[in-house]
Homo-oligomer: A and B are copies of this chain.
Amino acid sequence: MSRRSGRRPGNPDTRQAIMTSARHAFAERGYDGASIRAIATDAGVDPALVHHYFGTKEQLFLQTLQMPVNPHEFLPHVIEGDQDEIGVRLVATFLSIWDTPVGTTTVALLRSAMSADWTIQLVREFLTTQVLRPLLAQVEIDPAEVPLRASLIASQMAGLTVIRYIFKLEPLATAPPETIVAAVAPTIQRYVTGPLR
């Protein structure tokens, strides 16, 4: 009866309920463990309505993060080409995204995400399932080493983000991309294809 309990398409309360359920599900059960069906049940709506509002599970996940950058747009640029240059392409692509107004928004989101465990879990799921796993799936390496390589790559890229964009430690804060690519790409390249011990 009340305005707040409606299920009409486009009802902002319903959208919000789905979004809240989705954030909980992805944070608690991870990207792989969360299901549209369970999210819909928790929000008290039909699964079809979740798809109608938010598209696929992956699209819903990206929307829960309010991530203005879509990995499907930049990952092909990193993956395609010589595997010995993947470090150069990853760092260069990363900087080309981060050094923009959209990147500034994303960094602000990441920074505020650091304050709560559930947002940290969302970002971790995003990094793992949307960026690192698809990236390393295209590289000829021992699959058993993928998780360690992924978390090492994450450590250098997260640290670059923290020091350049949040701590603004000079000269890394204002260094031109080519300086950073030259210095950091060999690190990423070793974490992707090089020896780890």
Contact = CB atoms under 8 A, between A and B. Distances in A.
A166 B166 CA distance: 16
A111 B114 CA distance: 7
A114 B124 CA distance: 17
A171 B150 CA distance: 9
Contacts of A148: 171-172, 175, 179, 183
Interface string A160-176: 10111011111111010
Q: Chain A interface mostly helix, strand, loop or mixed?
A: helix
Given A120-B167, A172-B148, A183 B154 contact: no
Contacts of A186: 190
A101 to B, nearest CB: 19
Contacts of A1: none
A128 B183 contact: no
Given A115-B114, A151-B163, A182-B196, A124 B169 contact: yes
Given A114-B111, A187-B190, A128 B182 contact: no
A151 B169 contact: yes
**Which residue, of A169, A187, A196, has the highest number of chain B Cβ atoms within 10 A?**
A169
A157 B159 contact: yes
A197 interface: yes
B158 A163 contact: yes
Interface string A117-131: 000100110011000
Given A114-B114, A156-B159, 14 more contacts: A112-B115, A124-B168, A127-B169, A148-B179, A148-B183, A154-B163, A154-B169, A156-B187, A157-B159, A159-B160, A162-B162, A179-B197, A183-B197, A186-B190
